[in-house]
Structure 1
Amino acid sequence: MYLKALYLKQFRNYQEQKVEFSAPKTILVGNNAQGKSNLLEAVELLSTLKSHRATRDRDLISEGTSVSQINATIERAYGSVDLSLRLHYPGRRTVTVNQETLKRQIDFLGLVNAVQFSSLDLELVRGAPERRRAWIDSLLVQIEPIYAHILQQYQIVLRQRNALLKNLKSGQTQLDPAQLALWDAQLATTGSRVIRRRDRILKRLAPIAQTWHSSIAGNSEQLTIRYAPNIIAEAEPPEKVQQAFLDKIQQRRVAEQVHGTTLVGPHRDEIEFTINQTPARTYGSQGQQRTLVLSLKLAELKLIEDVVGEPPLLLLDDVLAELDLLRQNQLIETIQDHFQTLITTTHLGAFDAQWLTSSQILTVEGGKIV
């Protein structure tokens, strides 16, 4: 997979910019707040239709305008693909593939595969559980695009059920057991699909990450990754997961009505990382946490390549400064020219001469490539 060209119009601080990529590695260099990360964010949007830096499209559209556009030409194993994503405020997004507008955004997913690694990813280990849930959901969307629809279905049911519980708590609605049972059943059905897919992908990812972790840590540490769903210890057959879901809802029925919100479901799941049987979140050193995150990112690269049949893009957002020389070398040796890589940095001192001579170097100033 190779990103040949990227065109931005009224996206973040880019008014209009086209970039053609001429080497397996592209280094974007410039001071902070010039637009380096924005360019990577545009590629991330093409990959997952989401940004880890913004939740609203209005924040992605240049100030004073109402439409933003991202175009890209991607070379895949099966041929070249032209992609376009238009953001409207107000209004809905439109996505096109080879000049054909798609009716469903889900059909756009999977056309660009990318792994993003930024300094913010250290929150994967030490941050709140929702950070880890967002990470695994983003990976799943790329490997199994239908998961975006499954997750959306669950979130719709969750919002409706939460609204009912909130009204029950405030006294605006009288308890109707039949109505609540209907939402319980839908929550269990949609939620069990989310649980089983998260469990399945983590079981594939964990051994790859463990191998990388042992290599980087010198076989002195044992990494364990465990999915800890809110419902059941392990994803059983669908009917058992759904029944466990309903049983747990029954157990928390009174508490849910007191709090006015749903306390049961994958929106409360956890992913546990332990090193030598010690929780990495609370007891891991900074070095151990960095090794863990690097291992996860390298595992993502390998897993996506195994599933889709070609290497994904790698987006490194000012991350080399966060890694010591050992971890930098491990990452650089893995990349070589196998993964097309876009790297942002404020200075070129972190790169050796061989990297600099084999890379395309672009300077970013004020939303322009100069």
Structure 2
Amino acid sequence: LRSHRTSRDRDLIRDGDTIAQISAQLERDLGPAELALTLRSSSRRIVAVNGETLRRQLDFLGVLNVVQFSSLDLDLVRGGPEQRRTWLDSLLIQLEPVYAYILQQYNQILRQRNALLRGLRGEETGDREIGGWEEDEPSEPELGRSQELSLWNAQLAAAGTRVIRRRARVIRRLAPLANYWHQAISGRTEDLDVRYAPNVPMQEDSPEQVQQAFLQKFQERTIAEQYQGTTLVGPHRDEVEFTINQTSARQYGSQGQQRTLVLALKLAELKLIEEVIGEPPLLLLDDVLAELDLHRQNQLLETIQERFQTLITTTHLGAFDAQWLHSSQIFSVKTGQLSAE
């Protein structure tokens, strides 16, 4: 439902045209499905399953499971926390489509709470002196704002707890798979640890405990939040930490180590989706093999074998081992036309 290169549909439509269409026939163990997506430059897109237009795009999720690996994913280690949160959330949505609704609900509450905090900041920076004396007692409007903030605190804590617990669970399942692949690619010389670092501390996987920790941290950050006019507590400030042999991969990992790490993550995603969903996902490799040395290329391609249907884009066929070219179907795209070789 989205491109990894742009967020605007009109950027995906050919110049001079007003719409673009993508359709696919999907074969799964559950039975066949027909998928269709229509992008329109001047209005909302349309999504359909088996010829039926869906009222909500979120209902499209979970029909087709995909693992995508592009050169942009190499920034997963080097980039900021937001990139790692987006990666984690995208994986969770595939494993548990209802998570998209949970995340949407959390973000709606977050926006409302931030709007209230901006209002409170405006009041705090306003003129509070009356007749030359500073006003000591809070006014009735301020009391109302404070009570409203308490309500949003409770709502954000409840929604945020659902996000945090799911993120923690998926990392617990993914981490050993990623370490397995990282060891295999590195020749058993390196251990990879993938650790979830929630903004709200989790002592145990209990909704009550997490919500209580949420509310406690709100109390601790009240002054800072009202001063900055934004929410400083919650999963929108979570981090995912990668360490290789107990050393930060982001700060000290070499380029080769970081590439091995991301490759191990993608192989772990493949395995985890297959375990949870019960059938292998589609694998998309967007011009990424040029970023990997021959050893890592072969490790990836040997893992794929006939097990995962894979679409690979490249501008250099010569970068592939001959055995992989012989076992692949090759298409060329020239001036917008697709042809089989």
By relative contact order (CA 8 Å, sep 6+), the higher-ranking structure is 1
Q: For residue 12 of structure 2, what is the aligned residue in structure 1? A: 60
The answer to whether the 8 Å contact 2:177/2:268 transfers is yes
State the superposition RMSD in angstroms: 1.7
Is 1:255 matched up with 2:224?
yes
Q: For residue 273 of structure 1, what is the aligned residue in structure 2? A: 242
Q: For residue 6 of structure 1, what is the aligned residue in structure 2? A: none
Decide which structure has greater strand share: 1
Is 1:353 matched up with 2:305?
no
TM-score of the pair, normalised by structure 2: 0.90
Q: For residue 15 of structure 1, what is the aligned residue in structure 2? A: none
The answer to whether the 8 Å contact 2:203/2:209 transfers is no
Q: For residue 80 of structure 1, what is the aligned residue in structure 2? A: 32
Q: For residue 180 of structure 2, what is the aligned residue in structure 1? A: 211
Q: For residue 366 of structure 1, what is the aligned residue in structure 2? A: 335
Following superposition, the deviation at residue 95 of structure 1 comes to 1.8
Secondary structure, aligned partner of 1:239: helix
Q: For residue 153 of structure 1, what is the aligned residue in structure 2? A: 105
TM-score of the pair, normalised by structure 1: 0.83
Following superposition, the deviation at residue 64 of structure 1 comes to 4.6
Q: For residue 171 of structure 2, what is the aligned residue in structure 1? A: 202
Gaps of 5+ in 1: 1-48
Q: For residue 238 of structure 1, what is the aligned residue in structure 2? A: 207
Range that drifts further, 191-200 or 161-170: 161-170
The answer to whether the 8 Å contact 2:202/2:210 transfers is no
Range that drifts further, 190-199 or 67-76: 67-76
Give distance in 2, aligned partners of 1:167 and 1:67. 42
The answer to whether the 8 Å contact 2:242/2:248 transfers is yes
Following superposition, the deviation at residue 220 of structure 1 comes to 1.1
| 1:232-258, Cα deviation, whole Å (9 max, x unpaired) | 145521111111111111111110111
User: Alignment identity in percent?
Assistant: 66
Aligned length: 322
Following superposition, the deviation at residue 51 of structure 1 comes to 2.5
Give distance in 2, aligned partners of 1:245 and 1:52. 32
Q: For residue 188 of structure 1, what is the aligned residue in structure 2? A: 157
Name the CA shift for 1:234/1:136 in 2 (closer, same or farther; >3 Å): farther
| 1:259-278, Cα deviation, whole Å (9 max, x unpaired) | 11111110000000001110
Gaps of 5+ in 2: 127-140
Q: For residue 140 of structure 1, what is the aligned residue in structure 2? A: 92
Aligned residue runs from structure 1 range 25-36, under 5 A: none
Following superposition, the deviation at residue 99 of structure 1 comes to 0.7
Q: For residue 196 of structure 2, what is the aligned residue in structure 1? A: 227
AA matched with 2:63? L
The higher radius of gyration belongs to: 2
Task: Find the partner of 2:261 among 292, 300, 303.
Answer: 292
